[in-house]
Chains A and B, each alone.
Chain A
Amino acid sequence: MILQSILEELMSGIEYARFTLPECCAQAAEHFPSPYREGLSSVNTEMECNRGVAFGQVFLYCMGKALQQTALAEEDRAAFLSCFEKESPADSRLQLFTLRKGVETLSGIQKQLEEDRQEKSRVAVGLGALSGMFLIVLLL
C-alpha cells in the first residue's frame, strides 16, 4: 500500500508542478515514514551531486537499499523499482502512464496476495475443522 502511495505522490508532483523526478522524490520524502523517507531523499541528494549517473540507477540503488529494511515481499519491491528502469519519455502523460501502470501492478499483486491469504485462511479453517472432527471421532 505504501509503495502505491509513493508512486501516487510522485505522480502528483509531475502533474501539479512539472517537477523533475529527483524533485518529486524530495517532495514525496516529507510525507513518508522511515526508511522510505531516507530512501527518497537520498535519491534527490545523489542526483544533486551530479556524478553523471542516470536517475534509474540512482533510484534503484537508494530505494533498493531502503526497501531492504522493510518486510515487503520481493515481488512488491521489484514491481516498484521497475517503474524507473526505462529512460524518461519526452511527454509527461507517458511518464504518468508509466507510474500509473506501476500503481496498477502493485495493486494487482496486493489483490492477488489478499486472495491467496483468504484462500490459505479458508484452507486452514477447513483443515482445522476436519482435524477437530477427526479428533472427536478418535476420542469417541
Chain B
Amino acid sequence: MEASILQLFPAALRPFWSGISIREERLSEIRLRVGRPILLVENGRELMVDRSGILTLHKERARCVTQEEIQALVQHICHYSVYAFEDEIRQGFITVPGGHRVGLAGQAVLNPDGEIKTIKQISFLNIRISHEVPGAADTVLPYIYEKGVPGNLLILSPPGCGKTTLLRDLIRQVSNGNPYGAGMSVGVVDERCELAGAFLGVPQNDLGMRTDVLDACPKALGMMLLLRSMSPQVIAVDELGGSDDFRALLSAAACGCRILATAHADAPDSFFRRSGAMQLWQERLFRHILLLGKEDGKPVVKRVYGEEEIYAADNWSDYDWDRMSGNGSVLATKAMRTDTGSHDFTEHSGRIDEWN
C-alpha cells in the first residue's frame, strides 16, 4: 500500500518524497519553509534532506523548498478547491486523509473587526504526522476507572508529548469497553480535527463504536450541542483553552457526564492559574490528573495526581484567591507540591513508551 504521507504531495514531487515516506512510522513532523531546508523530525531529532532525497545533517547539502512547491502542495492538499478549506485555513491548519495535520503560516489578512479572514502567501507548512497507537491507554485505565466508570480526567503536558494520542486511545477504549468497565457512549468535540482526524467529514482514526464526533466546532458550543442532541455518558475534548471551555465542562459535569480532557501545561498549578480554570479546582471537577512528559525523546506518563493531592488546600495556600477568582490575573508564588501522595507512574506501571 502506498504510504499515506506520499499522497499529500502532487505527482511532480512524489519521486523526491517517496524515499522519505518509507520512514513515515518514525516521523513526527515535516517542516517546509520557503527558501529554507526541508526539516524532518524523527524521534525528537531534526534531520535535513539533500537534493536526491537522502537524509543529511549538513545544512549546505540540504534541499530548500520553493514557493511554487508550497503552492502546489497547498492546492493538492485542498483537492484543488482551496475555497472549500477557507475555514480551516483561517484556523491555520488542514486535516488530511490519514488524520495528519498540516499547519499553515504566511501573511494573515484581517477583517475590520480584527479577526483573521484568511492567510495569503502561505510560505510555511508543518505536516504533523498522526500516529494511532492502539493500547497507549492500557496502563492508565486502572487509575481512572472506579466502580466500572471512568472518573473525570485531565491530561496535561507541554506540546508534543502525546496528549492527543493518549486521549484518542482512551476514547476508543471507553467507547468499546475494556477490562475495567463496559462500553459507554462518548461525545467528542474535535475542534482541531486531530482526535478523529476527520477529512471531509469522514473520521480517519478509530474512536470506538459508541463515539459521536462533532468536528471543527468550538469546544464550548460543541459540548452543549452534544449534550442536547446525543446525550453522551462521557464527553471528551482536546486542548482546553479559555474560560468558555471551562464553563461548558462544568455544565456537562453537572448533567452527569464524565469528562476526559487535555490541556497544555507543564504542571497542574500552571493549568489552574489560567483565567477561569480555578473554578474547576473549586468545584473539584477532576478526579485524576495525568502529567505527561518526554524521556529519551519518547512520551511517558510522568505522574498521576489523585484527588487528595489535586485538592490539598496547603498546595494552594500562597495563592491570591480574590484575584484568582476575579479577573484571572494570579499572584502565584508557590508551585503545587509534588512530593506527597501522587503515583509515580513510571515506578508502578512502567513507561507508556514507543508511541512514536
Contact = CB atoms under 8 A, between A and B. Distances in A.
B80 A88 contact: yes
B120 interface: yes
A21 B80 contact: yes
Contacts of B12: 52
B231 interface: no
A68 to B, nearest CB: 23
Given A20-B79, A23-B200, A87-B75, A52 B84 contact: no
A7 to B, nearest CB: 15
Given A54-B10, A92-B86, A21 B75 contact: no
Contact of B14 (A52, A90, A92): A52
A18 interface: yes
Contact of A95 (B79, B83, B89, B118): B83
Contacts of A95: 81, 83
B57 interface: no
Interface residues of A, number: 23
Given A22-B80, A92-B86, 11 more contacts: A14-B84, A19-B81, A20-B81, A21-B81, A51-B11, A54-B76, A56-B80, A87-B75, A90-B89, A90-B118, A91-B118
A87 B14 CA distance: 20
A88 B72 CA distance: 11
A52 B10 contact: yes
B255 interface: no
Nearest 5 pairs of A and B residues by beta carbon:
A52-B11, A55-B80, A20-B81, A92-B83, A20-B79
A106 B84 CA distance: 25
Given A52-B14, A54-B75, A87 B80 contact: yes
A55 B79 CA distance: 7
B108 interface: no
A50 interface: yes
A91 B86 CA distance: 7
Interface of A: 14, 18-23, 47, 50-56, 87-92, 94-95
Mostly helix, strand, loop or mixed at chain A's interface?
loop
Given A52-B11, A52-B12, A54-B75, A89 B82 contact: yes
Contacts of B13: 52
A88 B14 CA distance: 21
16 contacts: A19-B81, A19-B84, A20-B78, A20-B81, A21-B81, A52-B9, A52-B11, A52-B13, A54-B75, A55-B79, A55-B81, A88-B75, A88-B83, A91-B83, A92-B83, A95-B81
Interface residues of B, number: 22
A10 B78 CA distance: 17
Contacts of A14: 83-84
Given A23-B200, A52-B10, A52-B11, A90 B86 contact: yes
B7 interface: yes
Contacts of B10: 52-54
B109 to A, nearest CB: 10
Interface string B80-103: 111110100100000000000000
Contact of A47 (B71, B79, B84): B79
Given A87-B75, A88-B78, A90-B83, A20 B11 contact: no
Given A53-B11, A54-B10, A20 B86 contact: no
Contact of A18 (B71, B75, B76, B84): B84
A94 B80 contact: no
Interface in B118-138: 118, 120
A18 B85 CA distance: 9
B309 to A, nearest CB: 48
Nearest to B118: A90
A87 B71 CA distance: 10
Given A52-B9, A54-B10, A21 B86 contact: no
Interface in B12-47: 12-14
Contacts of A18: 83-84, 86
A95 B78 CA distance: 14
Interface in B245-262: none
Nearest to A21: B81
Q: Which of A14, A19, A50, A51 has the most B CB atoms < 10 Å from its CB?
A: A50
Q: Which of A20, A21, A51 has the most B CB atoms < 10 Å from its CB?
A: A20
B193 to A, nearest CB: 15
